[in-house]
């Protein structure tokens, strides 16, 4: 098996001046498409019938380079993960104070303002924590400002969704509507984890529902205890 000119792959004709001569068919090509996923190297050791000019969209999803997949690693790390973390925190962490306040005061508006305070406070806290956790240079997770903003806004949204029903003066009606929204939020979080993080759907539903349910019950219990 003969080698060819310095840095040129004998299978896909890719030239890299930094590389040593690459023998045709040995699967050691440094082309970005090959470097990003070794799935483009056949079991026999040679490159698949794929060149730098090939339309990678025609390849099966599992054989596409990561930068040609619909959800890239950067998108997941810089957008989806911060948003998911914020949504989960906002949806869960505000449950206890919100429903405890509803039980303690028996007034929708009192619960509403507690929910708003908890949502905004959690959004600011989570946004700062995410932004200050790292500058993104080492982890590749993007700019601190963008990540912090995404996390903070998602956290506030997660808390406000089940807080808005308490604008309804009828506390009983507000509570029942909030219950429905909480369940919808938790299932939405489970689906997002399934869709983007590839977590098994049944597993993520159990994890999210159990975690959210524990916090929810604590809020209800404390409200009842406080109200006597």
- Determine the structural domain holding residue 6 and report its residue range: 1-69
Identify whether residues 77 and 61 lie together within a single domain: no
- Predicted local distance difference test score (pLDDT) of residue 109: 96
Distance CA(45)–CA(29), nearest Å, equals 11
Tokens 């990678």: give the residue.
56
- Predicted local distance difference test score (pLDDT) of residue 77: 86
Identify whether residues 187 and 125 lie together within a single domain: yes
Q: 61: how many CB neighbours lie within 10 A of its CB?
A: 9
Q: 219: how many CB neighbours lie within 10 A of its CB?
A: 19
Identify whether residues 63 and 87 lie together within a single domain: no
- Is residue 89 within 8 Å of residue 130, measured between CB atoms? no
Q: Considering 21, 47, 69, which residue would you say is the last residue of a domain?
A: 69
Rg (CA), the chain: 25
Burial of 137 (0-12, 13-18, 19+ CB in 10 A): exposed
- The total of structural domains in the chain comes to 2
Identify whether residues 60 and 86 lie together within a single domain: no
**What's phi and psi for 74, nearest 5 deg?**
-65, -40
Q: 131: how many CB neighbours lie within 10 A of its CB?
A: 21
pLDDT tens, per residue, the chain with 228 residues:
444 344 445 455 444 444 444 444 444 455 554 444 444 444 444 444 444 445 555 555 544 554 445 447 788 888 999 999 999 999 999 999 999 999 999 999 999 999 999 999 999 999 999 999 888 887 878 899 999 999 999 999 999 999 999 999 999 999 999 999 999 999 999 999 999 888 898 999 999 989 888 998 998 888 888 876
Q: Structure tokens of 144?
A: 């601190």
Identify whether residues 78 and 112 lie together within a single domain: yes
Q: Considering 69, 95, 113, which residue would you say is the last residue of a domain?
A: 69
Identify whether residues 118 and 61 lie together within a single domain: no
Q: Considering 17, 52, 69, which residue would you say is the last residue of a domain?
A: 69
Identify whether residues 80 and 102 lie together within a single domain: yes
């Amino acid at each position: 098996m003969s080698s060819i000119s310095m840095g040129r792959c004998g299978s896909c004709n890719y030239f890299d001046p930094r590389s040593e001569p690459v023998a045709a068919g040995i699967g050691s090509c440094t082309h970005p498409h090959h470097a990003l996923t070794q799935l483009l190297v056949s079991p026999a050791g040679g490159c698949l019938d794929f060149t730098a000019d090939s339309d990678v969209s025609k390849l099966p999803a599992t054989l596409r380079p990561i930068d040609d997949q619909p959800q890239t690693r950067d998108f997941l790390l810089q957008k989806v993960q911060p948003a998911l973390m914020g949504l989960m925190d906002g949806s869960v962490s505000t449950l206890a104070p919100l429903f405890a306040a509803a039980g303690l005061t028996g007034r929708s508006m009192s619960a509403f303002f507690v929910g708003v305070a908890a949502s905004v406070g959690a959004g600011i806290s989570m946004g700062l924590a995410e932004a200050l956790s790292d500058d993104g240079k080492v982890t590749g997770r993007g700019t601190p400002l963008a990540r912090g903003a995404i996390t903070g806004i998602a956290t506030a949204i997660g808390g406000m969704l089940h807080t808005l029903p308490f604008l309804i003066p009828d506390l009983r009606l507000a509570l029942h509507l909030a219950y429905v929204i909480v369940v919808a939020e938790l299932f939405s979080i489970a689906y997002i984890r399934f869709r983007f993080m590839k977590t098994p759907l049944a597993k993520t539903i159990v994890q999210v529902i159990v975690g959210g349910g524990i916090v929810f019950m604590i809020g209800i219990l404390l409200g009842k205890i406080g109200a006597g």
